[in-house]
A = this chain, B = another copy of it.
């Protein structure tokens, strides 16, 4: 079992809230993350891919391909954006770190598979004090 991990970064605005709840309820559950005027983060994303080492190249996957996929499918859509308002794959989803991580997995998993490798983990770091790791439906 061997994996390779690529780190990418994006800076974005977001807000945690449920539109059907009152502001008080949102504040009670989500705290200052529910601020109606948004706040933001420097997100750090680690994409871990599992596979066999190709004897010709010594690679599980060419990092150039992995980086291209992650940038096209994820970073270009999230970086310097408002995640609640502008990101197609987050439409209708509560913008928690957990939900962003799952959505990123869905975005890139088929692309990784098409390169004969297997997506193993999405790690999404929101601040130096908290991060989420998603390993798919297993």
Contact = CB atoms under 8 A, between A and B. Distances in A.
Interface residues of A, number: 64
Interface string A29-58: 111110101111110000010000100111
Residue in A1, A18, A56, A135 with the greatest tally of chain B CB atoms within 10 Å: A1
A7 B37 contact: no
Contacts of A3: 132-133
A126 B3 CA distance: 14
Copies held by the complex: 6
A22 interface: no
Interface of A: 1-9, 11-14, 16, 18, 29-33, 35, 37-42, 48, 53, 56-60, 62-64, 79-82, 85-86, 93-99, 101-102, 127-138
